[in-house]
Amino acid sequence: MIPLPPAHRIHDTLIIGGGPGGLTAAIYLRRFRRDILLVDKGNSRLGWIPVSHNYPGFPDGIHGDDLLQRLRAQLGRYDGQSHAGEVTRLTCEDGLFVAAWEGGEIRARRVLLASGVADVGMPMENFRDAVACGAIRLCPVCDGYDVLDQEVAVVGAHSDALGHALFMRTFSARVTLFIRDGAAVLDENGRRELDAAGVRYVDSPVQGVTMGERMTPLLHTRDGRVHGCDVLYPMLGEQARSDLATGLGAASVECGKLAVDVHQETTVPGLFAIGDVVRGLNQISVATGQAAVAATRIHNSLPRDWRPSA
């Protein structure tokens, strides 16, 4: 663990979260010659991705961990680094943000939150292994193309379940929609939409998922049946990790996601947010684009630090 600077130091910007958004913002701000501190809890969803073919510039795909390592290495070129730790509280004092973590306090003029989301789960056997081999996938937008013509199961728990199943129909003619135990059964209009698209519907709720001999998902429904598939999308919702911001009064919308302006600033002046924690499309490319916007705005909003000529 890299030790954090002393608590009396005032940083230009504190970045909370070391995923692709947080690291990109850190790279931009270091290139702007700003004094930053990046604190990362170490649970970026990017690290779960076995290979992404949806990020520009990597025609053969790239592993999520490899992309994180590349971004950290690039940040290191500008004397920046990611500090391991968890910020547990964020307050404002005398015009500064004060962040509490397990080792003390951090003071900064601006804060950029890139803390992401937590997925709503259900009983699943060998979840991380299944994600690593592609049997369970979390983002139809990211990798729907990678499961062309496979047997696809979609488990939904809310009103978006129908939309997720119809979206996957773009990539395969063998799509089945399941519902989570406790979720509302589709009405007749929804069933007609599925029928028209050729999507199968199972109205007995899924109570758990196990893995077959070749790491293929097996969905166990309340009626005692077991349904096999090639790949499973558990589209059960998410909750933004936005408590630090909402604790300061930042406005939030559905799933706790933060409302931001065109510069990624929340309703709390000086507090910015990017990536999955804000309202919008959960994508690596979106997070990095938002990072560029936020970092440039932060730099321009801070006092100029005129350095002597070399």
235-250 residue pLDDT tens = 888 889 999 999 999 9
3-class SS of residue 21: helix
Q: Tell me which H or E stretch contains 203.
A: strand 200-211
Per-residue pLDDT tens over the stretch 30-43: 999 999 999 999 88
Q: Return d(Cα 206, Cα 212) in angstroms, integer.
A: 16
Q: Return d(Cα 42, Cα 199) in angstroms, integer.
A: 38
Q: Return d(Cα 134, Cα 215) in angstroms, integer.
A: 9
Would you state the structure tokens that stand for residue 57, as one six-digit string?
């510039």
Residue 3 has pLDDT above 70, yes or no: no
Q: How far is CA 39 from CA 29, 56, 171, 195, 196, in A?
A: 15, 27, 39, 49, 49
Would you state the structure tokens that stand for residue 41, as one six-digit string?
């809890």
Would you state the structure tokens that stand for residue 296, as one six-digit string?
């440039």
Q: Return d(Cα 213, Cα 276) in angstroms, integer.
A: 34
* Strand 96-101, strand 104-113: pairing: antiparallel
3-class SS of residue 231: strand
**pLDDT band at residue 1 using 50, 70 and 90 as cut-offs:** very low
What pLDDT is attached to residue 5?
Answer: 58
Residue 47 has pLDDT above 90, yes or no: no
Per-residue pLDDT tens over the stretch 216-274: 999 999 999 999 999 999 988 888 999 999 999 999 999 899 999 999 999 999 999 99
Per-residue pLDDT tens over the stretch 123-180: 888 888 899 899 999 899 999 999 999 999 999 876 678 999 999 999 999 999 999 8
* Phi, psi (deg, nearest 5) at residue 6: -60, 150
- Report how far Cα 241 is from the mean position of its chain's Cα atoms: 9
| Residue positions counted in the chain | 310
- Report how far Cα 253 is from the mean position of its chain's Cα atoms: 16
| Cβ atoms 154, 131 nearer than 8 A | no
